[in-house]
Amino acid sequence: MKTFTSIKQLGDIKQALAEAAWVKDNPFADQDLGRNKTLLMVFFNNSLRTRLSTQKAALNLGMNVIVLDVAQGAWKLETERGVVMDGDKSEHLLEAIPVMGSYCDVIGLRSFARFESKEDDYNEVILNQFIRYSGKPVFSMEAATRHPLQTYADLLTIEEHRTKERPKVVLTWAPHPKALPQAVPNSFAEGMSMTDWDFVIANPEGYDLAPEFTCGARITHNQDEALEGADFVYAKNWASYSSYGKVLSQDRSWTVTSEKMALTDNAFFMHCLPVRRNMIVSDDVIESSRSLVIPEASNRVVSAQTVLKKMLI
Q: Rule CB under 6 A: which residues touch ligand AN0?
A: 142, 180-181, 183-184, 272, 274
- Per CB under 6 A, 273 contacts ligand CP: yes
Which residue, 78 or 156, is less far from ligand CP as judged by CB?
156
Minimum distance, C-beta of residue 236 to ligand AN0, in the bound complex (Å): 7
| Shortest reach from residue 158's CB to ligand AN0, in Å | 17
Q: CA 61 to CA 78: how far, in whole Å?
A: 34
CA dihedral 144, 147, 149, 155 (to 10 degrees): -160
Is 47 a binder of ligand CP (CB under 6 A)?
Answer: yes
Question: Applying CB under 6 A, which part among 62-70, 87-95, 251-259, 272-280 lies near ligand CP?
Answer: 272-280
Contact 189, 171 (CB under 8 A): yes
Interface positions, 144-183, toward ligand CP (CB under 6 A): 150
Closest separation in Å from C-beta 180 to ligand CP: 11
Number of residues that bind ligand CP (CB under 6 A): 9
CA nearest 167: which of 108, 233, 241? 233
Contact 57, 308 (CB under 8 A): yes
Sheet with 38-43, edge to edge strand ranges: 3-4, 138-140, 106-110, 38-43, 64-69
| Angstrom distance (rounded) from CA 120 to CA 113 | 9
**Are β-strands 168-173 and 232-236 bridged in parallel, bridged antiparallel, or unpaired?**
parallel
> 99-134: buried (b, 16+ CB within 10 Å) or exposed (e) per residue?
ebbeebbbbbbbbbbbbeeeebbbebbbbebbbebb
**Cβ at position 156, least distance to ligand CP in Å:** 14
> Could you say which residues in the range 124-143 bind ligand CP, by CB under 6 A?
142
- Show the CA angle centred on residue 47, arms to residues 247 and 91, nearest 5°: 90
The interface partner of residue 21, options being ligand AN0, ligand CP, none and the CB cut-off 5 to 8 Å by kind, is: none
48 binds ligand CP, rule: CB under 6 A: yes
State yes or no: residue 306 binds ligand CP (CB under 6 A).
no
Residue 49 in contact with ligand CP, rule: CB under 6 A: yes
Q: Select the residue whose beta carbon is closest to ligand AN0 and give its number.
A: 180
Give the binding site for ligand CP (CB under 6 A): 47-50, 142, 150, 272-274
